[in-house]
Every structure is written in C-alpha cells, then in structure tokens.
Amino acid sequence: DTAVSQTPKYLVTQMGNDKSIKCEQNLGHDTMYWYKQDSKKFLKIMFSYNNKELIINETVPNRFSPKSPDKAHLNLHINSLELGDSAVYFCASSHETSGDNEQFFGPGTRLTVL
Amino acid sequence: GENVEQHPSTLSVQEGDSAVIKCTYSDSASNYFPWYKQELGKGPQLIIDIRSNVGEKKDQRIAVTLNKTAKHFSLHITETQPEDSAVYFCAASSDYKLSFGAGTTVTVRA
C-alpha cells in the first residue's frame, strides 16, 4: 500500500497552460509538503501545510497555488506554465510540523514544459 | 536562513570500500540532521538521522557524526555494495523546514 502517492507521474504540456498535480498520503500525518527538484538534483521546499493550513511559502511565484481539501491531500495547481517550471515535483508528509521528524516522499511528478 | 553545503558532488568507490560524505550548515539553531537516499526515478528516503544532543549514531553499515561546534556532519557507509549506488542528500532543520545539500552521486564499482 503506497504511503504517499502522486498523480500523474509524467506531465508534458505547452507553455502558458494550467496544470495540477495531486498528492495523497495514507499515513495519518498532519503535515504535507511540496518540493521542487531541478535538473541538477537540487531539492528545495515550496510549501508546507499542517491540517489544511499553510505553514511555509518559500517565495514561490503566485502562479503556484497549493490546495488542501483535507489533511490527507495536498494538490498543486500551476497557472501559466513557463519553461523554467520544468522539474520533478515531490510531495511529502510528516507526523509533525516542527521539521525535525522523518518526511516521507512520494515518487515524484516529472513536469516538462515545451 | 539555513545554508547547507555538501561535498563531494560525486563519489566513486570500489565495492567493499568505505564512502564518506561531508556537510556543513550555517544556522546554529538547527537541531536535526537527516540523511536521505534517492534511487533513480524514486523519491528520497530517510536512511539515518541525528539530533543535536548526540555526537554519533550508527545503523548497521551506516553511521553519522555531528560536530555542533564546527557545524558539520558526515555520513559514513562501510563495506559498500552495488545497491548503495544512489544520490545522497544531507539536510538540516530550522524554522520548521528542511534545507537540503546539493546531493552526492555515489557509484559503487563491482
């Protein structure tokens, strides 16, 4: 049974389009995250949510809007996609918000903007 | 904010040899230092972590050391095996978030 799942695994789209990535965790965790991993493998946090409330927003453009319908789901919607948005996006979850406990990562969504 | 530097960026070792990856951090308030392993096409997975009140921790072939005074911590893998080939990330926790190092690609030669 997958702990943190993301859909889709691959996403290829044209510049200017709007797309969403879905994430679900079945671990009963209160905190969920979105990370961006660029072509050089650098992993950077974008957002974190605790029980549907935004905790961290790391100077991400307004075109990125996370949505948390409940504490088991954190979706990422991206408007007006740009070439620089091409990356692998990882969803993660953890038991607590403090940052000092294990984070469980999903398998990633590879986004390619043409 | 926290800045984590990681070296080397690539590491090639003979099977059975040891591998060492080193990281430094900038924020003296950081108190949690995990190491993640990322295999090709997968998400990162925690392999070991250490808290600021501990100087060393070991789990089978993997060990981590922490020097809070110098603000650096290291991952040691002994008796490397082909399945240890992956990208390894160190991280430091402060302000409710993890800041990751740039990663080390480890290749174990058979």
Instruction: Give the chain B residue whose CA is nearest to the CA of A99.
Output: B96
| A102 contacts B97? CB cut-off 8 A | no
Chain B residues within an 8 Å CB radius of A106: 43
> How many Å apart are CA A12 and CA A24, to the nearest integer?
21
Higher pLDDT, B89 or B52: B89
Report the mean per-residue pLDDT for chain B: 96
> How many Å apart are CA A46 and CA A54, to the nearest integer?
11
Per the structure block, which two tokens stand in for A59?
């100077």
Residue contacts between A and B (CB atoms, under 8 Å): 59
Chain B residues within an 8 Å CB radius of A40: 102
Express each pLDDT in B35-44 by its tens digit.
999 999 999 9
Q: Is the pLDDT of residue B11 over 80?
A: yes
| A99 contacts B32? CB cut-off 8 A | yes
Per the structure block, which two tokens stand in for B41?
């096409």
Nearest to B96 among A97, A102, A106 (CB): A97
Express each pLDDT in A34-77 by its tens digit.
999 999 999 999 999 998 888 888 878 999 999 999 989 999 99
Express each pLDDT in A21-31 by its tens digit.
999 999 999 99
Confidence band for A2, pLDDT divided at 50, 70 and 90:
confident
Express each pLDDT in B80-94 by its tens digit.
999 999 999 999 998
